[in-house]
Structure 1
Amino acid sequence: MVKQGKKASAKKLTTGLLAAVMVAGLAGCGGGNGENNAANSDTSSFNKEGLPIVSEPVTLKVLTVRWGSMGDTFTQNQWLKDLETNTNVKIDWQVMSSNDWGEQKSIMLASGTLPDVVIGDQTFSDSDIVNNLSYFRPLDDYIDQYMPNLKAAMEETPDMKKISTFPDGKIYSLPARLPSRPKSSRQPVINKTWLDKLGLKVPETIDELYNVMKAFKEQDPNGNGKADEIPYIEVSNDLISPFGIADLNNNNMLVKDGKAVYYPTSEEYKEGLKWENKLYTEGLLDKELFTQDDTMRSAKFQNPDAPVVGFSYQWTPDAVFGKWGDQYVTIPPIAGPDGKRYTIGNPNGMNLARNEFLITSSCKTPEIAARWADQFYTDEASIQNFWGAIGTVIQKNDDGTYTLMDPPAGTSADAWYWEQSLRDFGPKYVSPDFEQKIVLSTESGDGLKLQLDKLGSEYVTEPFPNVMYTAEEFEELPTLTTDIDSYVNTMRAQFISKGNIDEGWDAYVKQLNDMGLDKLLKIRTEAYSRYTSVK
């Protein structure tokens, strides 16, 4: 994901102007109580079906937040411009920068003055919404009455409804299902040039990986006559994923046999720590493992004189290695002690998100906003709001397929997509069947990841889902997780670097229990039960 784009106009992103317009300029059509009461607005020109949505033009104020200085070029997406013409709903885009949004969000929530519509899950988090529910309209009735495209999507992909249902059983924000997303997250990547030079095969098990890493450390595979090779340089759950520790959302939770499990106290985690301690003791993990930052790691991945990193986990092999990228290949998951392979990801695809569209209680025409949002939930609308418009970024072929065009010279494909579309943000739904019609290059970007995904997708484990918490739970969670997570991380570093895992294990578990682990698990398991009970 890129975080840079063309410089936004001063009108849209100047902080001073933003503060000035926060109370007045972002206001919608007046106050409201958040109830599903469409009758209190002027709907004389509103059409419940077909287009235009309104016979007389109506303007909605729509807020979204973009990475860094990306700006508002996406508003010139031809599909969005055609939507305005076809629906008679005019959009006053309010585009904010993520650089300034934290402070400005606080001002907005404190004042209670919001625009009609909010787009993108970067704008308001679960806790922002749950703690300010009166600012946002429950959308269940609007979905039922005015959003046939979204209703059909939720029926085809029930998890869309699950992730959108708040603890009170209502839906306040709308979801997205992104197209052409893989099932796996980061996958094992190895220096194939080194393997070939040393006459080694691709490792299949942790024992074989250990032998390969030892050879990388001791046999000078980069050929510079120096003992500068580093087999592995990161602390992450990737390295212990062969032990069944496949934590997609980094919350120390797994789903095992349909139950929520806290894995830092599990036997599998304990054995994973012993594996890491063995590697560290023998110099197969970076000696600066616990002290380096991202900049230092990046410098090692892209060491200018010779490649020095042998094994890693990455989205694609060309992601971080700079000019040495061609030496690295993605390989199948490493089998663990039980003989099984595990891949961090989601068997349903890495493609679902919530909080992508909210209608505020300030909006006096919520049924218009709901019908407008529903136009985004078709296959063609969604691919144009993920990559760019047909005719600009996407070529629609005579055989019913869709091909992504090459980006302009000097621009990466990913940067171009963010410039031309809402990309990750905003409502959208691409059905599994329609995905088969999308033609992507297998050489880079989204297409390359889908090709590599075939190596590990069958081993992807079910993650602990992105559950929703109540306002009371959100109030208690930070106190618990701050102390408990910090202790888990501290002890992991100590166990890896100093060992004594068996000797110190009972005291470690007791300390977690004394810190309130039972309360944390109660909150997490109750949230998980609510999530799984949504039909």
Structure 2
Amino acid sequence: MKRKWGTVLLSTLVVSSLTLSACGSDTPSKETKDKAPSGSTDKVSTAGFPIVKEPIKLKMFTRTAPANGPFKDMPVFQDYEKLSNVQVEWIEAPTDGFAEKKNLLFASNELPDVMYRSGLTPLEAIRYGTGGQLIPLEGLIDKYAPNLKKLMETYPEIRPAITTPEGHIYAIPGIVTVNSARTDKRWMNQAWLKKLNLKEPETTDELYEVLKAFRDKDPNGNGKQDEIPMTARASGGPGLGIPVADIMGGSFGLDKQLGYYINIENDKVNIWMGSDRNKEMLMFLNKLYSEKLLDQEVFSQKEAQYIAKQATGNTGFFFDQTNNPMLGTKVNDQYIGISPVKGPHGDRLQLSAPVPRDFGAFAITSVNKNPEATMRWIDYFYSDEGSTLLRFGRQGDNYELRNGIPYYTDAFLATGNQSKITPYAGGGAPHLISEKVASFINPPQVQEAQKKLDPYMPKIFAAPLFDEQTAQQINILRNDIDKYYEEQTTKFIAGALSFDKWGEFQSTLKKMKIDELQKLYQDAYDKMKQKK
């Protein structure tokens, strides 16, 4: 399974098409901006089902992943329509080109009632919210979303991550309370370790020696030097970094707080791109790459290639959230999760995503005439019962309960249709992922791997929401800085840029106003602390 958190860390403020006008001629007036439109509240139940006595219809715009089937054919939405009395007309757009279609809806002001699984960025939420095209949700949450409200009380880090400086919530995230869905596991080939009489590495030096043995000592026994000692995904996406650098950064004390290249120590924000610790980490990865211990395709391989390498058994060390690519293959028991390795300064951090993992997953637009019923509709999926329906479909047909936990039936697994029946496949669906609904992504092998990561997971502060002016300012700064940083990082690791150029690299970051960017994040962090 692809690392969803890595692609949806709440940091990204870059919007490719925001030169389009946020509001058309029919944009709601100023009077409507700070209050949600009121539907027939006397007809909306505050608890239980149906949500409304007489059926209502909602138009929802959504992204569909390549693996998904039509939303109207999914059991979750067919069954929930009967339960809730809310009929949904889905306006589907594939992942490729989705952002452009989404932006066009707002630019033309031809809005649906709901943006579902829409991946709204923080800048989009602020812009379309203050412009009156998205309505504030905090009052609706308080009255009509008991499940979501309880989660926000239980996990206080959720509210500041989705609340604007003015106190409004314009979009609801996906919420992940199970740790294993917020981390990449560190999968190591234990069959190779045993054959070569090696122990699990505990330090970066020991990892280096293990990888050399994987390269040189023919652990697969075919007489060829064709083993891949270590591999990783090629890209985390624009502004999201180089995955192998993110994962190894924890061994050098490099965290990713506030959804960016940030450490927080004693309430001080430090963007560490040009730091000595980062230089050390990149030099270590350069050594692995230059000695062919790190996959030579690590910067170019497609997702399908990376997944295929996991299932071959010919890889020594790789990273993934689950063991899904290995399931059903002869190599499944060949791998074991290991702990983060300790770096030269004793650092041993595990990168993870925050509890509010998928920002902008759900929003209600200003054309929606039934916002109260709509909030009740989505709130169900922030309960274990609703999330079970969304993720697993129909009991008996698709899943069975074992000790109260849903598992896909063997017969249904054999069909290979899991991604056809649920919108969670492909990531970004607004719902709760808890231990009670995570059996498919959190089987025993993954649980054991996660136990080795839990002691090293710091508290994560999600990316803050900025006012529109500040968000635009950050967007401009990061457009240049992120692109430059990721290009240079790749060159440093691959040996295309000498570390003699590190001073020039630091100077260029300064010229790009990285200190100004750091101050903006510091101000946002200070405001977040004040709200608690």
Say yes or no: TM over 0.5. yes
Please point out which of 365, 370, 385 is paired with 1:365.
Answer: 370
| Residue 136 of structure 1: how far off its partner (Å) | 0.7
Larger mean Cα displacement after TM superposition, 294-303 or 454-463: 294-303
1:274 is paired with a residue of what secondary structure? helix
Contact 1:183 1:453 in 2 (8 A): no
Q: Distance in 2 between matches of 1:387 and 1:248?
A: 33
1:387 is matched with: 392
Larger mean Cα displacement after TM superposition, 361-370 or 326-335: 326-335
Alignment of 1:15-164 (within 5 A): 33-36=32-35, 38-39=37-38, 41-42=39-40, 45-47=43-45, 51-68=49-66, 70-73=68-71, 76-77=74-75, 80-122=77-119, 124-133=120-129, 134-164=132-162
| Residue 504 of structure 1: how far off its partner (Å) | 4.0
Q: Is 1:284 aligned with 2:293?
A: yes
Contact 1:318 1:326 in 2 (8 A): no
| Residue 183 of structure 1: how far off its partner (Å) | 6.2
**For residues 37 and 269 of structure 1, do their structure 2 counterparts lie closer, same or farther at Cα, with a shift above 3 Å needed?**
closer
Please point out which of 265, 268, 279 is paired with 2:274.
Answer: 265
| Residue 165 of structure 1: how far off its partner (Å) | 0.8
Q: Distance in 2 between matches of 1:420 and 1:260?
A: 39
| Residue 156 of structure 1: how far off its partner (Å) | 1.7
1:24 is matched with: none
Alignment of 1:97-496 (within 5 A): 97-122=94-119, 124-133=120-129, 134-178=132-176, 180-182=178-180, 185-234=183-232, 235-247=244-256, 251-286=260-295, 292-294=300-302, 298=306, 301=309, 307=314, 309-316=315-322, 319=325, 326-346=333-353, 352-396=357-401, 400-406=404-410, 408=412, 410-412=414-416, 415-416=417-418, 419-420=421-422, 422=424, 424-429=427-432, 435=435, 440=439, 446=443, 448-496=445-493
Contact 1:222 1:229 in 2 (8 A): yes
Contact 1:233 1:289 in 2 (8 A): yes
Q: Which amino acid in structure 1 is aligned with residue 55 of structure 2?
A: P
Contact 1:379 1:429 in 2 (8 A): yes
**TM-score after normalising by structure 1:** 0.79
Q: Distance in 2 between matches of 1:117 and 1:107?
A: 15
**For residues 449 and 257 of structure 1, do their structure 2 counterparts lie closer, same or farther at Cα, with a shift above 3 Å needed?**
farther
Q: Distance in 2 between matches of 1:388 and 1:257?
A: 46
Contact 1:205 1:335 in 2 (8 A): yes
| Residue 138 of structure 1: how far off its partner (Å) | 0.8
Larger mean Cα displacement after TM superposition, 279-288 or 190-199: 279-288
| Residue 331 of structure 1: how far off its partner (Å) | 1.7
- Cα offsets for 1:137-172 (capped at 9, x unmatched): 111222223333332222122223222212322011
Q: Distance in 1 between matches of 2:334 and 2:518?
A: 44
2:521 is matched with: 524
Q: Which amino acid in structure 2 is aligned with residue 165 of structure 1?
A: T
Q: Report the identity percentage.
A: 30
**TM-score after normalising by structure 2:** 0.79
Larger mean Cα displacement after TM superposition, 421-430 or 447-456: 421-430
| Residue 521 of structure 1: how far off its partner (Å) | 1.4
| Residue 67 of structure 1: how far off its partner (Å) | 0.8
Contact 1:255 1:462 in 2 (8 A): no
Aligned residues: 493
- Cα offsets for 1:301-330 (capped at 9, x unmatched): 3798x93x4333333456379765554332
2:248 is paired with a residue of what secondary structure? coil
**For residues 377 and 30 of structure 1, do their structure 2 counterparts lie closer, same or farther at Cα, with a shift above 3 Å needed?**
farther
Contact 1:384 1:394 in 2 (8 A): no
* Structure ranking higher on relative contact order (CA contacts 8 Å, 6+ apart): 2
Give the unaligned 5+ runs of structure 2.
Answer: 4-25, 233-243
Q: Distance in 2 between matches of 1:507 and 1:499?
A: 11
Q: Which amino acid in structure 1 is aligned with residue 59 of structure 2?
A: K
1:189 is paired with a residue of what secondary structure? strand
Contact 2:66 2:94 in 1 (8 A): yes
1:9 is matched with: none
Q: Distance in 2 between matches of 1:216 and 1:37?
A: 60
| Residue 406 of structure 1: how far off its partner (Å) | 3.1
